[in-house]
Amino acid sequence: METEGLFPVQQPQYAVVMAREGRGRIKGAPVRALLEYWEETHGTDSIRALRQRLPEDFARELVLDPGRPGFGVLVGGWYSNEALGALLEDLLATTSPGRRTDTLDAIADEVMGRTLNGVHKAVFRIVGSPELMRRKGQFFWNQQFDTGDVEVRAVSSGHQIHYYRNWQGHHQMLCALSFGCVRPMFHMMGVQNCRVELISCIDRGGSECAAHIRWDA
């Protein structure tokens, strides 16, 4: 609904590009939030250069046109996990391993802050809790991804484990970012001092992707 009328000529072309099911897809809202944050911190030319570096099919899918609202990314559109993974890998290519986690944390903060705001943020703060995440983890996941199974298992007070399985188009950078987004989500719920520790990832030989989530109980 938000994009109606913005791209009356080009939108059907983008819709065809986005309609590639079976690869694993992510909603456009977090992709757009990431690009907006990157432009603000690194400049518009960084987005133009990014488009030149990405493989052509991913560049066409993501559009990455600074002249369009949201760089041409539709908030309600669906984009392949592979494309976003390639984008993250490119953006972090020049970041030292020691600073990569900090950069992903900053991206996670911005993505959650920009996509969960206004009345939704206020309601989330009132009703949100780690227990709600255990009960509704799959629901929250499905708002952003069209494949993947989520399990959230309580370990003790102030500690639970999140598991992601059967996630098509999985990419190590996107996996780390997805777990990283749990921290700002918990902070929005009023949970104090949330920490995320990755346990396993299928890109590193694990049978599933998982992370410890700890907070001050």
Domain limits, the chain: 11-91, 118-216
Angle, alpha carbons 96-98-99 (nearest 5°): 70
What is the C-alpha separation between 1 and 75, in angstroms, rounded? 9
At the second CATH level, the architecture of 118-216 is Alpha-Beta Complex (3.90)
pLDDT for 59 equals 95
pLDDT at 121 over 90: no
Q: What is the mean pLDDT of residues 60-75?
A: 96
The torsion of the CA quartet 21, 72, 139, 174, rounded to 10 degrees, works out to 80
Look-up: residue for tokens 């494949």? 147
Percent of the chain exceeding pLDDT 70 equals 88
- pLDDT value at 1 more than 60: no
pLDDT of residue 98: 82
Q: Is the pLDDT of residue 154 over 50?
A: yes
Q: Which two tokens stand for residue 174?
A: 């996107």
Strand order from edge to edge, sheet including 209-216: 149-156, 159-165, 209-216, 192-200
Evaluate whether 38 touches 30 at the Cβ level (below 8 Å): no
- In the chain, where do the E strands start and end? 25-27, 78-80, 149-156, 159-165, 192-200, 209-216
- Indicate the average pLDDT of the chain: 88
pTM comes to: 0.86
Average pLDDT over residues 197-209: 95
Digit-coded pLDDT (tens) for 3-41: 233 323 333 333 334 435 557 999 999 999 999 999 999
Least confident window among 14-18, 94-98, 148-152, 160-164: 14-18
Cβ–Cβ under 8 Å, residues 169 and 214 = no
CA-to-CA separations, 25 to 82, 170, 183, 196, in angstroms, rounded = 8, 10, 22, 24
